[in-house]
Amino acid sequence: MELPLRTLDVKCIECGAHFEAMTRKRMGMIMVNCPHCKASQQYMVKPPKKGGEDNEPVGKFVTQMPVRILGEVVSKDGRYVIEKRAKIGMQYGFICPKCNKQIAIKTDQVGEQGATCKECGAKVFFQAYDPVEEERLRQEQERLRQEREAQQLKREEELRRQEREAQQLKREEELRRQQEELRRQQEEQRRQQEEQRRQQEEQRRQQEEVRPYKYVDDIPDVEPDDRPSQETVVAPPRRRLTNGELQWGGGLLSSPQKVRLYDGTTIVGRKDAYTPSDISFIDPEMSRRSVQIDAEPRNGVMSFTLTVLKDLNPVLVNGRRVPQGMSVLLRSGMKIKLGQTTLTFKLV
């Protein structure tokens, strides 16, 4: 006779949902699958109350010892193992591979452990783990990974920053170099302009020198004065002699020294090895190149013109100071005073 259907009121041990499971078993283990999450689980069916066996109505009965089915037992390397891992602190059940009886286990430690079938003595091994600890480890590893990533990013950013800085420095250096080059070119240009200016100035000065003389022509006549002085004569250049003559020195017991002037320009000044004059004197108060005397024919007559080249040491003609750059047309007997030396110009 078929037993009546009984209803098992189940709360899923995986997802917590309530559902009803039907059985005709009077007692023992039944296996049910949660209609919501499909998790397999086993329940103990309690026998109906005594005396009410036949007319026990189909109804709810109390669940007891909900057990997770851990997984399939397989034979591996000569022993029975379950490859699915168990969580610690839980009850599991599985089927003995030898006698097909239910084996119930309780996990309270992590790592490998064995369960022995009470019926046939078969030993089944499985691994248990602590999900909380694993989650903690996982989170820790995730945290470390993120830290490493952040550090890596930071290092890369630092490298990029250094690279940027290096490039910036390079650009600045290049700019500085270009500016330096520009400055150098400008300096060179300035120097060339300066040189050009100097050359133009020199040219101008030379042109000025050959410009017609500005004459000082109100030179007074004075009495002859043959004061002696120290003197040296350098031989004048070999040109055509004129009738002009410079005399100096002489006194009561000696006749004056004299030198004939040549045509063209004759420079008179202090004796100096580096700026020699045509006629020079040892006279510290005379300029190195003090005056020049130009002898040139004018209207068929030789004309003599004295021009003051330097008047730091004053040049006096017949006692009158002639400024630098000015000229005097020499007449016979004129006294030319250069420093301490007095020369007399004579026509002979």
Give the interface with Zn ion as residue ranges (CB under 5 A). Answer: 12, 14-15, 34, 36-37, 39, 96, 98-99, 101, 117, 119-120, 122
3 versus 122: smaller Cβ distance to Zn ion: 122
Residue 12 CB contacts under 8 Å (≥ 6 apart), including other chains: 18, 19, 34, 36, 37, 39, 41
Helices (H), the chain: 131-209
Query: What amino acid is encoded at 292 in this protein?
Result: Q
| Nearest-angstrom CA–CA distance, 263 and 242 | 6
36 versus 197: smaller Cβ distance to Zn ion: 36
Task: Find the shortest distance in angstroms from Cβ 130 to Zn ion.
Answer: 23
Distance spanning both ends of the chain, measured CA to CA: 184
Task: Find the shortest distance in angstroms from Cβ 157 to Zn ion.
Answer: 49
Task: Find the shortest distance in angstroms from Cβ 88 to Zn ion.
Answer: 21
**CA dist 229 → 29, 286, 287, 343 (Å):** 156, 12, 15, 10
The CA-CA-CA angle for residues 172, 175, 178, to 5°, reads: 150
Query: If DSSP codes are grouped into helix, strand and coil, which group holds residue 277?
Result: coil
Task: Name the DSSP class of 3.
Answer: P
Strand order in the sheet with 91-95: 28-33, 40-45, 67-69, 91-95, 102-106
37 versus 58: smaller Cβ distance to Zn ion: 37
87 versus 258: smaller Cβ distance to Zn ion: 87
Task: Find the shortest distance in angstroms from Cβ 2 to Zn ion.
Answer: 29
103 versus 330: smaller Cβ distance to Zn ion: 103
102 versus 292: smaller Cβ distance to Zn ion: 102
Q: Which tokens go with 10?
A: 């189940």
Task: Find the shortest distance in angstroms from Cβ 94 to Zn ion.
Answer: 11
Task: Find the shortest distance in angstroms from Cβ 32 to Zn ion.
Answer: 10
